[in-house]
Structure 1
Amino acid sequence: MDVNGLITKVTWKIEVLSDVGSKSMGRNGQLTKVTWRIENFSTIQDKKLCSENFTVDGNKWQLIIYPGGANEAFLSIFLGVADSATLASGWTRYAHFGFAVIDQFDRENSKTRATKKEFNATNPILGFRSFLPLTELRNPKRGYLLNDACLVEAYVFTGRTVDMISHEFIVKTVLGKRKTKEGDCVKAAIGNQKTTTTKPVEVINPSPTLAVELEQPAEEDMNTFFTILEYELSSSRIVFSKEEAKEALAKINEALNMTPVDLNDSGKFSPLKQAFMILASFDGSSTTLTIEQKNELLGLEERLKELANRAAKAVQDKNQLTAKESIKRTMTRSLESSLIRYKEVETEVKQVDQILAARHEEVVEAQKKREKMLAERNGIYRSCKEMKMKLDALGKEWAVYEATARVGEEEEKSVEAEWGRIKDFISSINGKI
């Protein structure tokens, strides 16, 4: 998927877990876990993402994610029956399933939810519309979007006798896999869903005089290593030059000279994050930035992004009213035209009635013409009645659209005011760099 010049890389892995946690949790059964790692997550413009199909107990399933939320405030995740269109009438399918958006700083803080559902032709897709607030998803203090990569896990269990999936089970799954290397009884099948038994790892104490040769690392181990490495490097003290600070300030001023909507459309937030970090970390002899100012600088990238999103939403709300006004005008003109024609036909019908009364010899021919005109009149009536119902329905919703537009207008003013405050703040420190 090519989004804003970036390739949205997707890593997909399937594991069939057998007898998971049978010793520690007293539970048995078969469970399928899928891991969906989506990179460049914040640049995705598609409203909906659909995963590859995967099979559990011979049944095909699919994950559906709404990156911007099905209701525009929360990340939404669903499980769907992948082959529902080809199943026989009256089909049903049971599943105990759970989802997790992994906190890549601390797995135990991951957001998890689980449920039991009966799928059928009426409800082939079920899940959580309000899985995780988008504000929390994008919070840099949480590890949900580490390096703009979102790690989603799904667990699907078709047994009805035990409750397999819980928050504790999900967050401990990775720890259980590590125990497998030490000879635990857990079995995993990765890739084509062929169940295999993981052999215990033989641990050999290396000689002090010999170099230790590392075993081939797993992908998750490498991701964990580089996540920790990135955190350690970001915690290190980096000294920036005055030229770098001026260049960072120039990038910030360039962004602030744009309108919030234009900045939102430009996708230039990544350079701004680095620029704010450089500016907050710069310690020149003439710099008199306070701790509060530096902290505010570090949070401005997210603040500008939020303001830009709000501005874009405000414009969208205002444009929605304009679109509805156009529909209203079109429907009103159509009703007026139909009303004129209805009156014309009504007059013509009366004229034909007079002809029928005066000319008995033309009764048959005139009757045919009358029936045709009556049919046209009835068609116009039905059309007008249907259109009037639509117009009435639109009228009932009109106050909502107007209110939304007013809120959008007020929000736009609020954004402009906050935007100006930030510009003034940045201008106040221009001479200090």
Structure 2
Amino acid sequence: MEVDRSESQSMGSQQVRKFTWRIENFSCIKCNKLYSDIFHVGGNKWRLLVFPKGNKVDHISIYVDAADSATLPPGWSRYAQFRLSVINQTDPKTSITKVTNHEFNAKENDWGFTSFMPLDELLDPKRGYLVNDACLVEAYIATDRTIDLLSDALIVELETASDKLKSKEADHGEAAIDNQKPTIVKPEEITTQSSAILSAPAVLSSPGQDEAESTNQKLPTADQSSSQSETIEPEDPTEEDMDTFFTSLESELARSNIVSSQEEAKEALVNIDEALNMAPANFYDSGMISSLKKAFKVLSSFDCSSTFTIEQKDELLAMEENFKQLPERVVKAVQDKNLLSEKESVKLALTRNLEDSLIKFKEAKAEVKQVEQKLAALHEQVAEAQKNKENILAERKENFKISQDLKVQLNALGKEWPEYVAKAKVAEEEEKSVEAEWGRMKGFISSLKGKI
């Protein structure tokens, strides 16, 4: 379910560690809380604590936990400042980051944010915080009070120094000391997700909002709250001073010919066995390589003629090189697997963009078809109107011809009209003459009837 990676940087007496926790099958998790693997910062054991469904809230809850608090003596306390992030794997600039600090103790052995971010945003696959149902949590932890994890410039500086050292060790196979203030003690994994911290500014809590707290304690009062303290550091030694000192010390120790005791040899074997009980990737991030170097040095100076055979001692001492190579190989394998996950995220984003493009293409095609249909209907209307226009023009021409003929007839009638008027007057006189003669004839007949 979980894959843990971390990388550690040392700055003089200051120490910072980046820890990356990939939680697989996040939406299917049934348990209330999860602990990450243990990692070391400043000589102390730490781990992350996550409540996937929220610690009695509708937000994901994330805390830093003192992993060995149950075995520490009464009155213990330890300081840490930490920067927690939930990485947006499709748009790292929107990653959620919060920073706080705390003085851990027996009563408050964990500290963090109960309401880190809303679960509905985290579980929404479109937001990019869950990719392939995996949640990516990153933490920077510093145990020195002079380190300011609010500074993005510091994070960039640490990442840049780590990148340079890894490049140099890829060529030479040994750790190198850069002429910079931050010096890398051990080349460790730099994951592709680490760039999210560099490219995204911290989304910090406003005063009085999203305050850090313990899983089982109330918020501390003002005089109990952990604050950044200012200390006056002695002048830093130069690189030349340190090189001269340790070169001389190495020569003196080589001349001393100290023979390790049986108890020291047993303790060395216990340390080696403890390392072998860890997963190779976790050993790579544990910071134990320096203690194992000491253990192998003890065994090399131990008179084991009565305990081991020569072959056993040779094989035992040859394991030191394997402790360097095998974890590096497994870390490289993890990086290659993570690269696939990263490419899967890119593939998913590209696929979604193509799906959006396809939808837009189909919508545009449908709109074009509708416009073409409207244009076709308009063409039909124009054709019909044109036909009506031609009919009207034809009718108008026919009417013009008829009107011309009628006008000709009217003009001809006008010319004949006086003749018709004269004839009408003559006819009227003739009609009167006929009526008079007709009346005379009627009277004459009437007079004859009276005589008979």
TM-score bracket, normalised by the shorter chain, equals: 0.3 to 0.5
Greater Rg by CA:
2
Q: Which has the higher contact order (CA 8 A, sep 6+)?
A: 2
TM (norm. structure 2) is: 0.42
TM (norm. structure 1) is: 0.43
